[in-house]
Amino acid sequence: MAAESHVRKVTTSRLSERMRVADAGDQAFTLVLGDRIAAEVVDTVSALDRQVNALRQAGGLPGLIETVPSFCSLTVIYDPLQTSRQQLLAALEQLPPADPLAGRSASRLWRLPVCYEGDCGPDLAATAAVLGMSVETLIDQHRQAEYRVYTLGFLPGFPFMGDLPSALQLPRRTEPRLRVAPGSVAIAGALTAIYPSESPGGWHLLGQCAVPLFDPARPQPSLLQPGDRVCFTAVNAAEHRRLQQAAKARALDLAAFSEAEVAS
């Protein structure tokens, strides 16, 4: 986030009164629509993103390169040789209030297998102890919730999913790991996630999912998309190894883990 001195209110009744503009270099700016991770804020960001891109496709925003939505903001990237921040903001300020429910695309409900056994969940026991519950209770509460994919980021295909049950919410680890294995299922704050590839990470690791979340060879590389719903099903170590082998051989039927598209 830019320094407060570089953030200003947008003086227009056509956009959210809470929206601010933050500097993001000489080729981008960020529209800040909230200050917390919440479904209604994510919906507002998504609705504005749809409006902006619809206007762009209609030829109304020459010079706009792309938009990047996040939990609470929308970053607008443009070509300064074709347009300016002032021109784009003037056009955006003419947009009517965005309807968060209008224009939503259908989403899928995914039931992803997670192994919580043995080395698959290296932080499971310690996390349960900090939360003051048994390992079994932690697993049950984690897998019984239904999560929404709020956004993708950090790594290609990395899904930030909420909302984690309040009883499971805790800060990130004080000492991040240098290496987190691909497929690791983790929690931090009010969110849960799956690491699609190996990387450093500071989330608490509860289990492993063998379903590959990102594959550049697929027509749609990221398996999960914003708005999708995710439930976790517990599998034992033997079934987890079988799924891992099938995934490695590209013999895993990904469609078997999703249900019919539903209105998001």
Q: What is the mean pLDDT of the chain?
A: 88
pLDDT digits (tens, 9 = 90+) for 154-173: 899 999 999 999 999 999 99
Regarding the domain delimited by 106-263, which CATH topology (the fold level of the hierarchy) does it fall under?
Answer: Cyclophilin (2.40.100)
Amino acid at 74: L
Instruction: Find the farthest-apart pair of alpha carbons in the chain and give their distance in angstroms, rounded.
Output: 60
What is the reported pLDDT for 260? 64
Side-chain half-sphere CA neighbours of 112 within 13 A: 29
Yes or no: say if 124 and 206 are a contact pair by the CB < 8 Å rule: yes
Name the 3-class secondary structure at 216.
coil
CA distances from 158 to 50, 86, 141, 251 (A): 22, 33, 22, 22
What is the reported pLDDT for 7? 40
**How many CB atoms are located within 10 Å of the residue 221 CB?**
13
Burial of 153 per CB tally in 10 Å (0-12, 13-18, 19+) = middle
Amino acid at 1: M
What is the reported pLDDT for 36? 82
Contacts of 123 (CB under 8 A, 6+ apart): 173, 186, 204, 205, 206
What is the reported pLDDT for 5? 34
Domain 4-92: CATH class, spelled out: alpha beta
What is the reported pLDDT for 257? 96
Rounded distance between C-alpha atoms, residue 177 and residue 150, angstroms = 24
* Token pair of 122 as six digits: 């290296």
Map out the domains of the chain as residue ranges: 4-92, 106-263
Q: What is the mean pLDDT of each run of 10 residues along the chain (264 residues)?
A: 37 55 91 84 87 90 92 93 93 80 71 97 97 98 95 92 95 95 97 97 98 94 92 98 96 90 55
What is the reported pLDDT for 13? 46
Amino acid at 137: T
